[in-house]
């Protein structure tokens, strides 16, 4: 689905698909903003206090309406910003155009961009010489540790949005090669409890339905990986009446899936049974030729993990006798020597962003509130931050959850003095 993109000039201030989409994009940004009250409250405070003034930020995120609202929040806080795509298929071109036209931002992102353009865009993010970076998958951090290492000395902190990115950062830290402090925003409860579980859960099913028009009730859906995203997706697919099968490599997670009521088995056994397969493991080659060979004719295969390498598409291509691109939007059909066909959705890239609109705004409200407040925290504490993978401070999470509950009209109880004392004692009540 690579789009024909106009060539990017070396010093281009932005690179987006079509500026005539800007108005539609602005409508979409404002629509999402209605469902992001926590971020809005932070934006209003940032506009008064300007806590990010004087900082240059490069963000490599999925360019969606929700991300646009994070960008306007950071800008309201005084940051000088660049936004680049974190995935070649996830950009909403109208949103990218609106950010340039109405919000005066430097955006480098085009839906369907080829690999070369993708890396040109990343390069623009690094050449901006940021002092803070924000990643969804650690691509900027990777560049700042390899090809663009010369810009890494200026970085005071980097924030990471997703599980796969945090895995890469921890590997870098373990090797002793991390060059600046990073925050594992993904690991905040206000992020992965909600975004990975409810956001990915709903939007992955949404992407599959939009691309296939398949009746989920009565279908057998195989979910590879019972982590936060896998749990969320399995729950939603099951709610639609699917028979859900889980494949796992972690016995505790597999047991959890079994006790949540799903069938658990190895992929080799699930391959001939499934109607729809979705990987969400953060691992590579979870579905490979030995599995594709066993699948039913017309099976649907997709991925909602960060990278498309969860599916061995090169292996599939090699074994296929015929590949038909876009037989219907978002579906490539591979015909195998045994005459069975496999339908790959959204080229194996994040199906919820490739074939649908990604997570609902209400859940991104919490993820991006966590990003905005952690950025402010990193600036305030820059001098004291060690070069390591940091957690988001708990008080920020409590603040976000409290505000979100309030916007949802819910209240909770408070600990009484005696309860507080009991919870910090080992002698009371025994």
The contact set with ligand NAD (CB under 6 A) reads: 162-164, 192, 196, 200, 224-230, 247-250, 253, 280-283, 286, 304-306, 350, 352
Nearer to ligand NAD, 214 or 288 (CB): 288
120 or 163: CB nearest ligand NAD: 163
Q: What are phi and psi of 10, to 5 degrees?
A: -55, -40
The answer to whether the beta carbons of residues 403 and 41 sit under 8 Å apart is: yes
Residue 424 CB-density burial (10 A; 0-12 exposed, 13-18 middle, 19+ buried): exposed
Identify the helix (H) or strand (E) that includes residue 359.
Answer: none
Of 35 and 248, which has the nearer Cβ to ligand NAD?
248
Residue given tokens 């974190």 in the structure block = 86
The residue (of 46 and 226) whose beta carbon lies closer to ligand NAD is 226
State which residue, 152 or 279, has the beta carbon closest to ligand NAD.
279
Q: Which residues pair with 244 in a beta bridge?
A: 221
Q: How do beta strands 322-328 and 331-335 pair?
A: antiparallel
User: Do the bridges between strand 220-224 and strand 243-247 make them parallel or antiparallel, or are there none, so unpaired?
Assistant: parallel
To ligand NAD, the closest distance from the beta carbon of 199 in angstroms equals: 7
In the complex, residue closest to ligand NAD by CB: 227
CB of 297 to ligand NAD, least distance (A): 24
Helix (H) or strand (E) holding 414: none
State in angstroms the smallest separation of the CB of 292 from ligand NAD.
15
Bridge partner list, 277: 222, 301
* Closest distance of CB 234 from ligand NAD, Å: 11
In the complex with ligand NAD, the residue whose CB is nearer, 57 or 245, is 245
> What is the smallest separation between the CB atom of 45 and ligand NAD, expressed in angstroms?
27
3-class DSSP assignment, residue 347: helix
Give exposure, 296-317, as e/b (b: 16+ Cβ within 10 Å): eeebbbbbbbbbbbbbbbebbe
Q: How far is the CB of 120 from ligand NAD (least distance, A)?
A: 24
As measured in angstroms, the least distance from the Cβ of 192 to ligand NAD is 6
In whole angstroms, how close is the CB of 176 to ligand NAD at the nearest point? 24
Angle CA 124–348–234, to nearest 5:
115
Q: How far is the CB of 307 from ligand NAD (least distance, A)?
A: 7
Residues in CB range of 99: below 8 A, 6 or more apart: 25, 29, 63, 68, 71, 83, 105, 107
Closer by beta carbon to ligand NAD, 182 or else 379? 182
CA distances from 168 to 239, 279, 330 (A): 33, 19, 29
Cβ closer to ligand NAD: 73 or 203?
203
Give the residue with the Cβ less far from ligand NAD, 138 or 216. 138
Distance CA 261, CA 264 (A): 9
Q: How far is CA 219 from CA 242, 308, 376, in A?
A: 5, 24, 46
């Amino acid at each position: 689905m690579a789009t024909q993109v106009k060539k990017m000039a070396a010093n281009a201030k932005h690179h987006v698909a079509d500026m005539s989409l800007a108005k539609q994009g602005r409508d979409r940004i404002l629509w999402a903003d209605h469902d992001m009250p926590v971020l809005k409250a932070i934006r209003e405070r940032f506009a008064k206090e300007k806590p990010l003034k004087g900082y240059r930020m490069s963000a490599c995120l999925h360019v969606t309406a929700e991300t646009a609202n994070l960008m306007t929040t950071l800008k309201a806080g005084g940051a000088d910003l660049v936004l680049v795509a974190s995935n070649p298929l996830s950009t909403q071109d109208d949103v990218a155009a609106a950010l340039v036209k109405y919000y005066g931002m430097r955006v480098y992102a085009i839906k369907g961009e080829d690999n070369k353009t993708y890396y040109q865009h990343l390069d623009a993010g690094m050449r901006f010489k940021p002092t803070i970076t924000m990643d969804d998958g650690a691509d900027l951090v990777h560049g700042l540790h390899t090809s663009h290492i010369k810009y890494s000395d200026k970085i005071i902190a980097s924030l990471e949005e997703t599980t796969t990115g945090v895995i890469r950062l921890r590997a870098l830290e373990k090797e002793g090669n991390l060059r600046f402090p990073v925050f594992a925003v993904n690991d905040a409860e206000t992020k992965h409890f909600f975004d990975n579980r409810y956001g990915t859960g709903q939007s992955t099913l949404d992407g599959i339905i939009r691309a296939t028009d398949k009746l989920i009730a009565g279908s057998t859906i195989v979910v590879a990986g019972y982590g936060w995203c896998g749990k969320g997706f399995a729950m939603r697919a099951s709610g639609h009446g699917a028979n859900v099968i889980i494949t796992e490599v972690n016995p505790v997670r597999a047991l959890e899936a079994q006790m949540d009521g799903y069938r658990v088995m190895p992929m080799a056994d699930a391959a001939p049974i499934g109607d729809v397969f979705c990987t969400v493991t953060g691992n590579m080659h979870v579905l490979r030729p030995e599995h594709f060979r066993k699948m039913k004719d017309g099976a649907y295969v997709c991925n909602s993990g960060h990278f498309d390498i969860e599916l061995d598409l090169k292996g599939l291509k090699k074994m296929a006798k015929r590949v038909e691109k876009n037989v219907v939007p978002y579906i490539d059909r591979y015909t195998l020597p045994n005459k069975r066909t496999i339908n790959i959705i959204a080229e194996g890239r994040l199906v919820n962003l490739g074939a649908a609109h990604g997570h609902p705004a209400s859940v991104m409200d919490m993820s991006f509130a966590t990003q905005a407040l952690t950025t402010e925290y990193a600036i305030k504490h820059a001098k004291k931050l060690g070069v390591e993978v940091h957690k988001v401070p708990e008080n920020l999470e409590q603040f976000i959850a409290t505000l979100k509950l309030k916007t949802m009209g819910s209240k909770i109880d408070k600990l009484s003095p005696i309860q507080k004392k009991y919870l910090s004692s080992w002698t009371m009540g025994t």
